């Protein structure tokens, strides 16, 4: 459960990266885009829940959250009126009640180990119905709460929390687990579920978890408040590398979120593919290397992709032979081998599209047209 919140980071990154396309689709298709996404979500869930094809459900990792994301476009356009929000809430509530009572979906929206079916990963139609209900209710109550939020002290509190909101989310499970371990270490007996003692222990547990989380935010929250990146002239040469980074982080973070940290090298199937936390973490490392190298030009990005391919090749051999502490797993080795080949292909594409030896973009290269002499001077300065 410590790694589970990472799924949000992977999905959020992918949705933000897809914004230029999805915004264009929203402008062209309007409500038809929502209808199309809903149809795909229904088909995906029928395949997973109705026919038992678990892999089919992973389509909704993007589709369900993309549908929620696109509703944000309607809100930004002021097209999500109170009437539409009210209708959305009613439809979401009715659908949710039907899905969890008549349908096969569990009442618990956040999946925990041992559940027969998880509503959250991959997200189901029940989670989508809950999201529609919540979004509609928030739009309905907005006129009521906005005067209160305009108070300086209240708004300052909102801003203060939001400055570290992603840190709080990503680390809240760790804080909960740490609080539970601290309470168990005292030898306190677990009361029967639902009794007064059980509720009293929940209060103590949440207080300890809150203190742990405050300490984490004080230590790590500053990484969420980095200085803005200086924008340079737009270039299409880095597009393959940028897409690769998003893809690697999406697969790596979701792979980590769906695996157990206590079984670091064991073969697991978080995305319907044989993976391990070690392999998933290697994808995140490869993405960081490419992202760092791409700032210095496409040729450097291609080199980082080849380095990532080499890492996957080493892991493939290690899992195939059971080298050192790694177990023998032909399935995980095959996944690593495929990833390595894909990264080699992406390196060749990045190199060919970007060109070899291209100078990195700097502020010196941005500006009005210059004479050849001034341009040469600027290039030397860059």
Q: For the chain, what are the domain ranges?
A: 1-143, 161-226, 239-359
Distances (CA, A) of 125 to 16, 219, 299: 22, 37, 44
The Cα–Cα gap between 380 and 128 comes to 55
Q: Please list the pLDDT of the chain residue by residue as tens digits (382 residues).
A: 778 888 889 999 999 999 999 999 999 999 999 999 999 999 999 999 888 888 888 899 999 999 999 999 999 998 999 999 999 999 999 999 999 999 888 888 887 666 778 888 889 999 999 999 999 999 999 999 999 999 999 999 999 899 999 999 999 988 988 888 887 788 777 777 778 888 888 888 889 899 999 999 999 988 888 777 666 555 555 678 888 899 999 999 988 888 887 788 888 877 778 888 899 999 999 999 998 888 788 888 899 999 999 999 999 999 988 887 788 889 999 999 999 999 999 999 888 876 544 444 444 333 334 444 444 444 444 4
Q: Would you say 356 and 299 are in contact if contact means Cβ atoms under 8 Å apart?
A: yes
Burial track 273-284 (b if 16+ CB lie within 10 A, e otherwise): bbbbbbbbbbbb
Q: What is the pLDDT of residue 324?
A: 74
Q: What is the pLDDT of residue 238?
A: 67
Phi, psi of 317 (to 5 degrees): -65, -40
Enter the tokens of residue 339. 């990833």
Q: How far is CA 9 from the centre of its chain?
A: 3
Enter the tokens of residue 219. 């230590």
Q: What is the pLDDT of residue 368?
A: 38
* Beta-ladder partners of 268: 275
Q: What is the pLDDT of residue 109?
A: 85
- Selection from 203, 194, 290 nearest residue 245 by Cα: 290
pTM: 0.81
- Selection from 354, 343, 356, 295 nearest residue 316 by Cα: 343
* Burial of 39 (C-beta count, 10 Å sphere; 0-12/13-18/19+): exposed
Q: What is the pLDDT of residue 55?
A: 83
| CB count in 10 Å sphere of residue 264 | 13
Q: At what angle do helices 31-45 and 125-149 cross, to 10 degrees?
A: 140
User: Looking up tokens 């119905």, which residue turns up?
Assistant: 129
Q: What is the pLDDT of residue 108?
A: 85
Q: Is 275 helix (H, G, I), strand (E, B) or coil?
A: strand
């Amino acid at each position: 459960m410590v790694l589970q919140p990472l799924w949000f980071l992977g999905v959020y990154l992918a949705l933000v990266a897809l914004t230029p396309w999805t915004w264009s689709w929203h402008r062209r298709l309007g409500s038809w885009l929502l209808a199309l996404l809903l149809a795909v979500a229904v088909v995906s869930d029928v395949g997973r829940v109705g026919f038992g094809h678990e892999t089919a459900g992973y389509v909704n990792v993007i589709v369900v959250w993309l549908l929620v994301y696109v509703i944000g476009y309607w809100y930004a356009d002021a097209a999500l009126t109170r009437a539409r929000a009210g209708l959305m809430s009613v439809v979401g509530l009715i659908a949710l009640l039907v899905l969890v009572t008549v349908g096969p979906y569990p009442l618990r929206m956040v999946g925990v180990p041992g559940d027969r079916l998880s509503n959250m990963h991959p997200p189901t139609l029940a989670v989508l119905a809950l999201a529609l209900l919540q979004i509609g209710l928030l739009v309905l109550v907005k006129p009521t709460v906005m005067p209160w939020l305009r108070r300086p002290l209240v708004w300052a509190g909102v801003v203060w929390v939001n400055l570290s909101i992603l840190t709080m989310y990503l680390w809240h499970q760790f804080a909960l687990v740490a609080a539970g371990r601290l309470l168990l270490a005292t030898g306190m007996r677990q009361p029967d579920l639902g009794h007064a003692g059980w509720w009293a222990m929940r209060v103590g547990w949440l207080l300890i978890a809150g203190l742990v989380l405050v300490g984490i935010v004080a230590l790590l929250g500053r990484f969420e408040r980095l200085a803005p990146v200086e924008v340079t002239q737009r270039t299409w040469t880095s597009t393959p590398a940028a897409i690769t980074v998003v893809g690697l982080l999406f697969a790596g973070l979701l792979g980590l979120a769906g695996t157990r940290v206590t079984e670091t090298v064991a073969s697991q199937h978080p995305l319907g593919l044989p993976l391990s936390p070690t392999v998933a973490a290697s994808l995140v490392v490869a993405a960081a290397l490419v992202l760092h190298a791409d700032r210095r030009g496409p040729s450097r990005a291609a080199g980082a992709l080849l380095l990532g391919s080499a890492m996957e090749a080493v892991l493939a051999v290690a899992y195939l032979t059971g080298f050192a502490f790694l177990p023998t797993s032909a399935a995980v080795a095959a996944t690593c081998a495929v990833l390595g080949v894909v990264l080699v292909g992406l390196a060749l594409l990045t190199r060919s599209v970007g060109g070899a030896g291209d100078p990195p973009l700097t502020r010196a290269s941005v500006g009005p047209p210059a004479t050849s002499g001034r341009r040469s001077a600027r290039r030397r300065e860059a």
